[in-house]
Structures are given as structure tokens and as C-alpha cells.
Structure 1
Amino acid sequence: MDCSICEGPIEKVQDWDLGNNAEPVNSGRCCNKCNESVVIPLRIINMKR
């Protein structure tokens, strides 16, 4: 499975290979790097609105 943000591969973590929820960036799945650098910061910004 590929990341819906950077289009790179989503790495398997233990038995989980579906990555992270990419909302609110898009409705797909994302890798850990994009989750930490794009998705979570955007969620924090949205919480402050």
C-alpha cells in the first residue's frame, strides 16, 4: 500500500500494514512520516480554530 500524501510505501509496523488515517489532508491512508509531519500538525491547527 502506498501513502496517499507522498505516494511512498507504507511500512508494516508489527502486524499493521494499513498506515495511518490521513484525514483531514485526504480520505486515504498515510505513512508514519507524513502522519507526523503533515497530518498531526494540521489536526492541531484545526483544533485551535
Structure 2
Amino acid sequence: YYTVKDILGILIFILILISLVLFAPDLMGDPDNYTPANPLNTPPHIKPE
């Protein structure tokens, strides 16, 4: 009985995880990854030593 409940719980967890990965992959992403890079400017946090 407990094995069936454990397998059901794992399947539900895997189903939720797969649905997040396939249908909303950018849900937890960093918004800075979507800004286009400018090769003429260096980022302000990089300073010469």
C-alpha cells in the first residue's frame, strides 16, 4: 500500500516538474539574460586593476 502511494507521489512530482520544464522554462530565469549584449561597452562592475 505504501509503495503505491510513494510511486503515485513521485509520479505527480515528476509530472509537475516536466510540465514546468516544457511549458514555462523561463519562469525562474534571470531577466538580465534577455538584454542584448553591447560589445562596445564593458559592464560597469568590471574595473581595471
TM exceeding 0.5: no
Give the strand-richer structure, 1 or 2.
Answer: 1
TM-score, length-scaled by structure 2: 0.29
Query: Which of the two has higher C-alpha Rg?
Result: 2
